[in-house]
Amino acid sequence: MSKTTPIPPSDYRTAAAAGIASPRLQKSLQGIQNRFGKGAMEFWAKMDDQELRHRVKESRMNTLAHLDIVLAELAKNIRARGGQVYFAATAQDAIDYTLAVAKKNNVKRVVKGKSMTSAEIAIDPALEEAGIEVVETDLGEYIIQLAGDKPSHIIAPCIHLDRAQIGQLFTDKLGIDYSDDPPTLTMAARKALREKMLGAEMGLTGCNLACAETGHISLVSNEGNIRMATTMPDVHVALMGMERVVATFDEHRETLQLLTRGAALQKLSTYVSFQGGPAALTDPDGPREFHLVIIDNGRSKILADPEFREVLACIRCGACLNICPVYGKIGGHAYDSPYCGPIGAVVTPLLDGINKHADLCKGETLCGACRDVCPVENDLPRMLAALRHKLAYGSDRWNTSQHNPAEAYAFALWKLLVSHPVLYRTSLWFGKLFQWPFVRKNKMIGSLAGLATGWTKDRDLPPLAGQTFAQLWKKKYAARRPNESRAQSKEAS
């Protein structure tokens, strides 16, 4: 077992409490969960092809089992079309490569398509430090960028803001007259973003899926911004987590169907863009250079562990956020990660340190709703429980130390008591004796000390009863048994 280390202070509880206290956020979260979360569950139940989710999950796991071969095929087909492929072992490798491409092409402005991978590797600050302007083009991400805020949902990044706040933000940042009319605000953002896109030298996007058989990546959106960001600038750089690949076009089609259904109940998103190389001489538009950066950044370690490999089958639709009772109350900022909700509670600790993000994997309820709604049926509750096991006992493989030794000792003591009846009954006797200083006039325990403090933070507890259930049962029914026996004998005779 690894050595124990001090538990760092966590912002999780503070941010979670702030989310719970926000009526605006609560209303927005309830709205999105009622619409998309419940809608997805109803769709899966009535879907004609009930085997689709099983097939896609099987193909995802089969691809992960042969990931090196599938990625090599993808790289070969993209290079054959004139694209360039770079395998980045770390986040810094990906940043360095992108900066080198930008420097070679004298890039002054980058327009981005929505990309969680870019947030994972923190490429925006690196580009800005190099003197390059970075502009988000997804409307929600653009609002977040103007506000200097962080996304709080995978597909609805500004769900924590209302239109009045966005209207004031646009007045302050874009200099337009105040309005809280959504079409007016949308047109203002469209005008501002079109001007940015016309002068951008580089487009930077993520990758929803890559198809090894055809040598393309695909990007979905409902605003058309990604299509413009990938075709108007001279250079397109796509950042892709190494697990976001499928082997064949048939698998791509079925996985894409689940992605758009899981994300927003759409049969297909408004735009699906395919990119696989620079524009041909006869093409009317398109980039002169196409670069695909395939990023590891800790994924190989997950892939090598059978206990957690399944999480790489995730297709980042965000469906688990739309059903999770914890996310539905605390919102996305508490997770302090590009990946929030149940998927974030699993993948963030694995990518960035289990001890560092202990609150995430300990904060979920394990109710199983995320597993039921997941398009590829990922068993996130099982993996959350496995992460908690690492925190309870430590793990050299994951460089994880025991998170809370006092808690571990408390549960070890509890195990000892409940497995030895004499010790258990003796502890109850002492508990009844020493609990009275904590019992208030209302005959309830209002506060406990030490590790038990949390149990009485928001509620009172009843004191230990004077008699145990076994004692009450014996007292009430033991004397009746002979009479009952005689009555039964009499009836029988």
Adjacency order of strands within the sheet including 271-275: 245-246, 209-211, 216-221, 271-275
Residues in the chain: 493
Residue ranges of the chain with pLDDT lower than 70?
Answer: 1-10, 479-493
Q: Report pLDDT for 46.
A: 95
Q: Report pLDDT for 3.
A: 41
Q: Report pLDDT for 482.
A: 60
Helices (runs of H) and strands (runs of E) counted in the chain: 23, 10
- The amino acid present at 198, given as its one-letter code, is L
Tokens of 41: 């569950």
Q: Report pLDDT for 487.
A: 58
Output the CA torsion 437→441→443→444 (10° steps).
Answer: -70
Q: Report pLDDT for 1.
A: 38
Q: Report pLDDT for 357.
A: 95
Q: Report pLDDT for 343.
A: 97
Q: Please state, in angstroms and rounded to a whole number, the distance separating the CA atoms of residues 176 and 43.
A: 42
Query: pLDDT by residue (tens digit) across 370-414?
Result: 999 999 999 999 999 999 999 998 999 999 999 888 888 888 899
Q: Report pLDDT for 185.
A: 97
Q: Which residues contact residue 59 at a Cβ distance below 8 angstroms, ignoring those fewer than 6 apart?
A: 246, 247, 251, 254, 255
pTM of model > 0.85: yes
Q: Report pLDDT for 2.
A: 39
Q: Report pLDDT for 491.
A: 58
Query: pLDDT by residue (tens digit) across 188-203?
Result: 999 999 999 999 999 9
Q: Which residues contact residue 483 at a Cβ distance below 8 angstroms, ignoring those fewer than 6 apart?
A: none
Phi, psi of 464 (to 5 degrees): -60, 135
Q: Report pLDDT for 7.
A: 44
Across-strand partners of 211? 216, 246
Tokens of 42: 């109803």
